[in-house]
Each structure stands twice: as C-alpha cells, then as structure tokens.
Amino acid sequence: MTADAISLSPLPPLRIGDYTIPVPIIQGGMGIRVSAHRLAAAVGNEGGAGVIATVALSLASQYYQKGKDYFRANIKALADELAWARELSPTGIIGTNCMVAIRDFEDMVRTSVEHGAQLIISGAGLPLRLPEFAASRPQTALVPIISSLRAAKLLTKRWSKLYKRIPDAMVFEDPNTAGGHLGLNRSELFSPEYSTERVVPQLVEWSRKEYGDEIPIITAGGIWDRQDIDHALDLGAKGVQMASRFICTFECDAAESFKETFIKAGEGDVVIVDSPAGLPGRALLSPFTSKLFRGSEVYSKCFATCLEACRCREEKETFCIAEALHRAQQGDLEEGLIFTGTNAVRHKRMMHVWEIFQELTGRKSPNACP
C-alpha cells in the first residue's frame, strides 16, 4: 500500500544539537562512494539528513595517482564532495560518516568540520577522540554509533570528563539486520540481546534518566517502510537511519549495474562474509562472494594501508576490502564486494529519493515531477 492510498500522520522533526531535521530520517553512510554528494544532497532536499561516507573517496577522483597519494587525495576528494553536496542542496542538512577504523579518521573528521559538515556520524569502533578532532567548529553535531548501553555509558563519560561535551545524538545499529561491517563476532550474531527491541528501550531510558532526553537515540538496521519507522518511534527512538533503502535510487552514487544487482536479488542472496578488518560483514551474493566461499583466489594486494588493523596487509591473507568495495561501486561485479542490509531483496524498481520520502511521509514532495 502506498502513501497515496492511506493517511499518514506527520513524522516529528528530529533535533540534533543546533540542527532540526524536518523528517527524522538520516541516510546511512555507505562506502565506498555509494553515498556520496548526489545521494546526500537528494536526501537533504527532502528534509532528511544526507550523509557522505568518507572512506576511500579518492579512488575514483582526479587526485589519486598512486599509493602514497591516497591519504592526501582523500582530503581533497572529501572537500569536493561536501562542496558539491552543498551546491545541490543549499539548505539541506549534510553530514559525513567517519570510521574510527580507518587510518585517516582524524583527517576525515577535521576536513568534514573545515568544509561545513553539519553533523558527523562515527562508528566502526568507539570514537573516543571525536570531540578533540572536531573542536574547531563546536556547532558540528557529533553522533557516535554504539552497539550497547555499556558502550554508550563509557563513551559519554569519557567525552564529559575530557571534553565537557556529551553526544548530540547516538545511533544504535542492529547487527542482526544492518549492512556492511557488523560490530559483533560471528558467534554473537542473531542474538536477541543485541536487537533493536532490546537495546533501544535501554538507551532511551538511560538518556531520559541521566541526561533529560538531551541525547536522542536513533535506530538503524532493517528500516525500510513507514511501519518500521513508527515501530522505532514507539520504542522511544527519536529518528531512524536508513541506508539500503536508498541504493536503488537514480541519485545513488553507485554504478547502474550495482543497483540492478539488488533489483534482481532473491531470497537467500544476503550472506555473511569475513572482512579483512576482523569483523563479519553482511553482503549481497555475487561472483566475488562465491569465490570467497570456495576459497578461490581474489585480489589480495594492500595498496593504501587504509585500515588500522587489516589481515590483508598484516597476514597477507583474504582480500583488500577497499579495492573490492571500490570495484563494486564502479560496476565490476565479478571482483567487487557489495555490502548491504537484510532488506536488499526488497528492491523492485529504480526510484527517485523524493518518491521514497513521499511514500514514507504521505506528503507530496516539492521535488516531485508534475
């Protein structure tokens, strides 16, 4: 049933730090360059928060020439992406996703701040030093991704003690449904202990009791339709983060063949792979993942030392994840890795971002075709 066929109540705005996001939807960061300036701007124009994933942005840029240029080129590429997003969305909320696990985490945060990112979402490890790296622009909202109430307490205590600051919001990412790297060991996956239903109410109660609701909780993983959003809000979340839902959009920054793979996907095509980063990852079945499962040879040369910890670099095993994700985004589905959440198989056709927002909110988009 579409939004045109039913009456939907208005969604409440989401307040994060100094910013009000009119529609409480944050577009999740998807690397490498699956969510870059085009997608982020389109989401920002619809009243959500658009997010540019900062990892390895340079690989398809004019700046990257060889391995030693990688980190310098990433800085320039991120500056470009933020500028282009702002040109396309002059008044939208635009932020970045900066992974703790990458070696240029500090550079990506400082570049985000310097070039006007309104919020920084940070996970793949606890971003304990994020306030330090973002100190030059206090109005930038800082939003850590956390996996448990324990992690939330630890991080908030550390920030409060060292930086006299608490998070402007927190994202809880459900490892049972989220895409990409999952913050648990394989043996812990699919446990209800780490589910949205269990953890979000815990976080909401803690935020309300200890901080007077000043740290809004945002839930991510498995969010697809209005029913999912309403359920998240019923649990006490103030907003949601959606990533996979925006892949099969005309504005998504990935190759068309990348998107077409999702439309063709069927039940059973979402798999768990072991990442060189030492974590399991949720991905779409592809020729590349089939090679991994068979133990066949895949691209395994580390070219940029991009991760803090990497089995490809340190043990000369497995594959180069930056190369695999880059190839997929460029349309090489034979040698590329396609990260996704559990909703991957729900894509049926290409859509515009404004169509998705219209479906989720029930209101006609100002960007809709007449």
Per-residue pLDDT, 295: 76
**Least confident range of 20-24, 68-72, 125-129, 334-338:** 68-72
**Considering the domain boundaries, does residue 352 fall inside one?**
yes
Whether residue 286 sits in one domain with residue 185: no
Whether residue 265 sits in one domain with residue 245: no
Tokens of 92: 């939208």
User: What is the band of 310 on the pLDDT scale with cuts at 50, 70, 90?
Assistant: low
Per-residue pLDDT, 88: 98
Whether residue 212 sits in one domain with residue 274: no
Across the range 174-199, mean pLDDT stands at: 83
Distance CA 32, CA 88 (A): 21
Across the range 159-182, mean pLDDT stands at: 93
The length of the chain is 370
**Considering the domain boundaries, does residue 368 fall inside one?**
no
Whether residue 242 sits in one domain with residue 128: yes
Whether residue 234 sits in one domain with residue 151: yes
Per-residue pLDDT, 248: 98
Whether residue 217 sits in one domain with residue 236: yes
Whether residue 334 sits in one domain with residue 357: no
Tens of pLDDT, residue by residue over 103-122, are 899 999 999 999 999 999 99
Whether residue 70 sits in one domain with residue 216: yes
**Considering the domain boundaries, does residue 19 fall inside one?**
yes
User: What is the band of 1 on the pLDDT scale with cuts at 50, 70, 90?
Assistant: very low
**Considering the domain boundaries, does residue 72 fall inside one?**
yes
Percent residues over pLDDT 70 in the chain:
92
The residue range of the domain holding 322 is 257-342
Whether residue 325 sits in one domain with residue 237: no
Has residue 6 got a pLDDT over 60? no
CATH number of domain containing 237? 3.20.20.70
Tens of pLDDT, residue by residue over 150-162, are 999 999 999 999 9
Whether residue 267 sits in one domain with residue 244: no
Q: Name the domain count of the chain.
A: 2
Across the range 193-206, mean pLDDT stands at: 94
Q: What is the 3-state secondary structure (H, E, C) of 214-282?
A: CCCEEEECCCCCHHHHHHHHHCCCCEEEECHHHCCECCCCCCHHHHHHHHHCCCCCEEEEECCCCCEEE
User: What is the band of 189 on the pLDDT scale with cuts at 50, 70, 90?
Assistant: confident
**Considering the domain boundaries, does residue 369 fall inside one?**
no
Whether residue 220 sits in one domain with residue 192: yes
Per-residue pLDDT, 2: 47
Whether residue 297 sits in one domain with residue 221: no
Tens of pLDDT, residue by residue over 215-235, are 999 999 999 999 999 999 999
The larger pLDDT score, comparing residue 24 to residue 288, is at: 24
